[in-house]
Structure formats: structure tokens, C-alpha cells
Structure 1
Amino acid sequence: MIRAAEPATHPSSALPKFSEDWALFLDVDGSLLDIAEHPEAVSADRQLVESLGKLRSRLCGALALISGRPLKELDCLFAPLHLPAAGQHGLERRMANGRLLPGLELPEGFAEVEARLALFVDRHAGLFLERKSHGLAVHYRKAPELESEVLALAEALARVSSPPLHLLRGKMVAELRVPGHDKGTAIAAFMRERPFAGRCPVFVGDDVTDEDGFETVNALNGHAILVGARTTAARWSVASAERLRAWLSELAGVNLSENTREEA
């Protein structure tokens, strides 16, 4: 089910053997959850929430979400769990003890960038502007023909603020965000703290926005796992979010057939 992705043309059938000394870091959209046309059209089912809760206990608390979503959205998706998490690609972070670390100040000109993006989105059907506390994401999944226009505008607007915003390209989305952190720096910070410190880091992600995390985990002699298939720094891969969820359920000891019967 999970294969080595280095190189992509010669995958290994081996799977990194699970160990209770892992520190498990999980991307959300495209990894734990299937990507939807709209960010608000996704949900986490009871089985996944149960699996994450049991895995967190099995790992003595060393499980965290590493996502582009804000923390408040992660809490809503995975309620009643209140997991350690890095939101907005590391610009928000909640430690295992529940402490929320202070965010960065918004750069001068951020409001102007937001206004100009909003005007552009309003003029083009199929676009959606996702407003975050430290970032602005234009989704064009429903209007893929506008990709070049979206990217050109994002590149131009990145230079409007001082300091410039960082342009992050994902799957059918362009995000302008405050610079200073990424998924790799978030994982590195968790690995300096209890209960993650001293463990073997494992990061699962699907998008190019997860490559910083893969590189950090590789540098720490951990396991980087890609969901999907593409050129990547990850050394392992799983075919889909559905298969990843099944693997996590297996590791957590959640009985898939019993859960299916209960929900039928």
C-alpha cells in the first residue's frame, strides 16, 4: 500500500515499520482528507477522528497536524480532538500543552493586497478568495483557465507589501502569506519540545507546499511520506488519502468493518 518514492520510477514495496517512538506529523487537505472543490466542503468522519485519538495516545501525545488551514478550522474539522497543530503553513502553532504561540505582525500594505485580490475575484466567476489572519489564498479549481492570470496577479501583489509577501503555489490555489515560517520550521520547532523531542519524525503530505516538511524530516533521519505520485523529496508514498486513512486506522487498531456496520 505504501511505497518508497525515491526514485518515483522504482518504488519499493517496503513500508517504514511503525514504532511507538515516532513523532507523527500529518497534513490535512489532500492527505488526511480528500480535496474538495471548496475548502468548506470537506469533513472528517468519526472513524478518522477515532484513529487520530488512539494514535495520539499510542504515541504518548506525539501527533500533530501541519496544515495550511487556520487552527480554528482544524479544531472544527476534528472535534472533539484538540491536537497540537501548526496552521497557515506554520504561521500559527499550538504546542502539545495547549499553549498558542503569538503570531507575526502583518506587513505594511497587507490590506491593499487583500482589497485588490478581492476585486479581481469578484470580477471572475469560479474563483474563491480564502481570507486567513496571515495569508490570502485564491482558489481556481472551478476556473482552471484563469491559472496564469491568478499567478501573474499574485506575483505582482506580493511586492506591494513591505516586507514582500511569500507566494505559495498549491493544487489549484495561489496563496500570499506573511514570510518567516513554513511546514518545515513548524516540524523542527515541535521536535525541540515535549513529547516530540527525541523521537523519529514522520511527516505525511501531498502537495508541493509540503516539501519543506519532507526536507526537514529527511534531515532529521525520519520518514517523509507522499500521498499521490510526483517528483518529491519524500522517500515513501501512498496512493491516496483513502489509503492513508486505512493505514492510520490499522496502526491505531480501529476495526474498519465494525465502524462500517455501526454507521449502516
Structure 2
Amino acid sequence: MSLPPLIDPHRHAVFVDFDGTLVELVDDPQAVAIAPAALERLEALQAALGGALAVVSGRRIADLDRFLAPMRFAAAGVHGLERRVRPDGATERLAGPEVLDDVREKLGGPLRDNPRLKLEDKGTALVLHYRTAPDLKAVAERAMAEATAGRHDLNVMNGDNIVEVHPTGMDKGKALAAMMRDAPFAGRVPVYVGDDTTDEFALKHVRDAGGVSVKVGDKRSVAEFRLAGVAAVHRWLAASA
């Protein structure tokens, strides 16, 4: 894979992942931070694009707002189960937290038995983290499989040191496609940048649509282009802005 072309503010719509793309992955998901200069460049790029920039993440939009404050931006959170098409718009939720109540209860036992496993409750998604306990990968995967057994309305995904469950029918690719139907994204060429397995849905959609698909890191990917890491992402965004 080669380096991606620079973003064209007159014709591109940019969708960018958060963890592992805009910020480095850390053991504590609440301890991430973006450099003020990098945030300023992101705001400059957003302005140049006429607002056609969105953050697409497995995190809740409320969390993204906190980490990227005071910037206001379009976003798809919890893999698209939360969506905000315009920076000043309301956040729409496609499902409620009650759909996962049974799974929460069933995960209680494994979490008590394995205190090094951490549960992140996003309301419409549940995430088992084992970054600080990689030896518990199989335990986490088995616990989630057992907690979701027979639930065909739920989708379990294995990501970077996590196992996540959320309602079916949504992923980052479908979220991107939905946002591309509305202003200010409609009529533009999509650009997607992401590092995780969960980003592959969006990367494939963008590549199939003739857009610019950019994989961050060295994992296998359907993407056409590649950037080495978070620092390389910010250099590319700065050059584009």
C-alpha cells in the first residue's frame, strides 16, 4: 500500500476513527488526550471542508465531545448506533440500553471471577477490555459468547484487545453510507481513516465507492492506502489543512 493523496477540501468528505487514529491507544480508555495543536489543525481542516468532516467511533458521542472539546463536529458513535450529522445537531440513537440488560447480568459472574477484565458500558454497547490482561483474551471471548448465546439480534465483534457487543444492523460502513446521504457530505468523495478491525466495514465501503480508504498501522486491510500510526495521521491531516 502507498501513502494516501492529500485531502481535497473542495471535493472530499472526511471520516476519521478516534482511538488508534487521532489518539494513541492507552490502557485506560478514559486517559486518552489529543494535543491542542492537533485539535486546532483538525478544526482548520473541518472549516476548509465546509463542515464535511465526521468522527466515526465505537465510543459514545458524548465521550468524543469531551475528548475533542471545544470542537463541535459531526459524528457516528457506538459504530453508528448514535449519529449526529451536523455539528450543532441533536444526537440520534437507533437503540436503547435495555436491549443489553440480559447480557449485562450474564457478564456479572465472569467479571467477578476475573477482576482484571474491565467492562465499559456504552448503553447501546458493552465492551470487555483485556488490554492490561492479554492472557484473558480467551476468557473474555468465551464470556461474551456465552452471555449472547441465542441472541440473533446482537452482533459480537473482536477488536484491538476488546470484545464488544451491540445490536445488529449497524456498523461503521453503514453509518458512513447513511451520513453521505445528507449535507454537507452528500455529493462529495468519501475519505475514511481507521486502524481497527471494526473500521474495515467503512474502509471496504469507501474503497468500493471509489473513495480514499486509509488503514492506520500494519494490520491486514482492504484499504488502498496506509499511514504508519497516529503521528503519521496528524502529519497527513496537517499537510492537507
Tell me whether 1:60 sits opposite 2:50 in the alignment: yes
CA contact (8 A) 1:107 1:178 kept: no
**What is the aligned partner in structure 2 of residue 98 from structure 1?**
89
Distance in 2 between the 1:143 and 1:116 partners?
A: 21
Matched residue of 2:131: which SS?
A: coil
Per-residue CA deviation, residues 162-183 of structure 1 (Å, 9 max, x unaligned), is x532101100000011112110
Q: Does 1:173 align with 2:137?
A: no
Q: Does 1:44 align with 2:34?
A: yes
Specify the code of the residue in structure 2 equivalent to 1:169. Answer: N
Give per-residue Cα distances to partners, 1:83-131, cap 9 Å, x unaligned.
Answer: 10000011000011513223224565x2121122233223213211000
CA distance in 2, matches of 1:189, 1:152: 33
Note the C-alpha offset of 1:160. 5.2
Task: Kindly report which structure 2 residues correspond to 1:61-210, keeping only aligned pairs within 5 A, or say none.
Answer: 61-96=51-86, 98-106=89-97, 110-159=100-149, 161=151, 163-210=152-199
CA RMSD, 1 decimal: 1.5
AA matched with 1:92? E
Which AA in structure 2 matches 1:40?
Q
One-letter amino acid of the structure 2 residue matched with residue 237 of structure 1? R
- State the distance in 2 between where 1:104 and 1:18 align: 34
Instruction: Measure how far apart 1:215 and its partner are.
Output: 1.0
Once the two structures are aligned, what percentage of the paired residues are identical? Answer: 35
Counterpart of 1:242 (choices 228, 231, 235) is 231
Distance in 1 separating the partners of 2:97 and 2:22: 30
Relative to 1, partners in 2 of residues 1:221 and 1:142: Cα closer, same or farther, differing over 3 Å? same
Q: Indicate the SS of the match to 1:111.
A: helix
1:260 alignment counterpart: none
Aligned partners of 1:93 and 1:101 also within 8 Å: yes
Give the structure 2 partner of residue 258 of structure 1: none
Alpha-carbon distance in 2 for matches of 1:102, 1:208:
23
Tell me, in whole angstroms, the C-alpha distance in 2 between the residues paired with 1:230 and 1:236: 12
Q: 3-state DSSP class of the match of 1:203?
A: strand
Letter in 1 for 2:44: K
**Deviation of residue 218 (structure 1)?**
1.1
Count of equivalent residues: 239
Q: How does 1:14-29 map to 2 (within 5 A)?
A: 14-20=3-9, 21-29=11-19
Unaligned runs of 5+ in 2: none
Per-residue displacement from partner, 1:106-160 (whole Å, max 9, x unpaired)?
565x212112223322321321100011111000011111111111121122225
1:62-81 residue CA offsets vs partner (Å, 9 max, x unmatched): 00000000000000000011
